[in-house]
């Protein structure tokens, strides 16, 4: 996962526990909620459940009173965001044709400790009232690429990952041995479609990613796709102040494109490069309406 994150030009560092709870009115002011077994988090404020066809479903809160459901697999993810609520009592949201969540949190009277070892912070410990979400969780991703229908999801320690608990930092050096190319539609460089690649150094493998935002009624859909290409999937030529790069990533990408730049950082991206996301939605990533930028830099991701 960290390897895929290196292809992003902007990364928001998450240093909090996934599903971590806020302060409780009943807790003593000097004692942080979840810090002891006598003052645990009262619920996980989110859930993770295995979905069909090799996907995992993560349900979490989003900004402005919304709930997000992320279906993630080996080559990408699709996230659906809709109005709803995530609280200590349960999760409620209606995703229209994609499904519905109406689950209440039922504690089982036990307290469990989650302990994770971070690189710099040492051991992080949190305590939780354990139990299960009970009710209705019905979800079917676009074109049926994955689905789940269950009435109970039990709390699991595996929901909590060191990446979220410990965080990570991003360092860049420009110019560097690596190369970054970012591309998008002309005039809307990062939305709704964005394509990125990163090669650490000449001869290294190439990390590719694509991002596509779309709105369907009250549901926002965010699609991500990833691939790792061989060193020859990106080739460079340069002469008389011009730079060209041929891009031909593996599936779920298809086709190819040629970055062309005369001077400056921006250039054109002619070609038939495209991507197929997990829900089988396809998007063009190159052509007359696209522009691209190239930088020679090194990116280092350090665990927290």
pLDDT tens for each residue of 43-80: 999 999 999 999 999 999 999 999 999 999 999 999 99
The pLDDT of residue 4 is: 40
Q: What percent of the chain has pLDDT over 90?
A: 73
Q: What is the value of pTM for the model shown?
A: 0.88
The pLDDT of residue 170 is: 85
Q: What are the residue ranges spanned by the domains of the chain?
A: 19-160, 169-303
Place 302 in a pLDDT band, splitting at 50, 70 and 90. Answer: confident
Question: In this predicted structure, which of 69-73, 128-132, 161-165 has the lowest mean pLDDT?
Answer: 161-165
The predicted model gives 126-145 an average pLDDT of 97
Tokens of 260: 């062309």
Higher pLDDT among residues 119 and 115, named by residue: 115
- Give 38: exposed, middle or buried? Use CB within 10 Å, 0-12, 13-18, 19+: exposed
- Dump pLDDT digits (tens) for 229-286: 999 999 988 766 678 999 999 999 999 999 998 776 789 999 999 999 999 999 999 9
């Amino acid at each position: 996962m960290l390897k895929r994150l290196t292809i992003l030009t902007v990364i928001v560092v998450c240093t909090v526990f996934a599903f971590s709870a806020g302060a409780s009115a009943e807790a003593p002011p000097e004692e942080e909620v979840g810090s002891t077994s006598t003052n645990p988090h009262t619920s996980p404020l989110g859930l993770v459940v295995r979905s069909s066809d090799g996907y995992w479903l993560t349900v979490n809160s989003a900004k402005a009173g919304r709930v997000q459901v992320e279906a993630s697999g080996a080559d990408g993810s699709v996230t659906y965001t809709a109005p709803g609520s995530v609280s200590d009592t349960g999760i409620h949201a209606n995703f229209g044709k994609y499904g519905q969540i109406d689950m209440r949190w039922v504690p089982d009277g036990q307290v469990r400790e989650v302990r994770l070892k971070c690189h710099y912070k040492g051991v992080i410990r949190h305590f939780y009232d354990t139990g299960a979400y009970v009710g209705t969780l019905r979800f079917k991703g676009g074109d049926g690429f994955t689905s789940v229908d269950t009435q109970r999801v039990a709390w699991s320690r595996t929901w909590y990952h060191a990446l979220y608990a410990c965080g990570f930092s991003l360092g860049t050096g420009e110019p560097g041995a690596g190369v970054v190319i970012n591309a998008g539609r002309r005039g809307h460089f990062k939305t709704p479609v964005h394509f990125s690649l990163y090669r650490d150094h000449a001869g290294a493998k190439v990390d590719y990613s694509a991002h596509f935002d779309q709105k369907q009624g009250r549901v926002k859909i965010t699609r991500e796709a990833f691939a790792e290409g061989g060193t020859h999937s990106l080739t460079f030529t340069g002469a008389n102040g011009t730079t060209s790069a041929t891009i031909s990533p593996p599936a779920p990408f298809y086709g190819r494109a040629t970055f062309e730049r005369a001077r400056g950082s921006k250039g054109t991206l002619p070609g038939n490069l495209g991507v197929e996301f997990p829900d089988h939605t396809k998007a063009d990533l190159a052509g007359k309406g696209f522009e691209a930028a190239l930088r020679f830099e090194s990116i280092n991701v350090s665990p927290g």
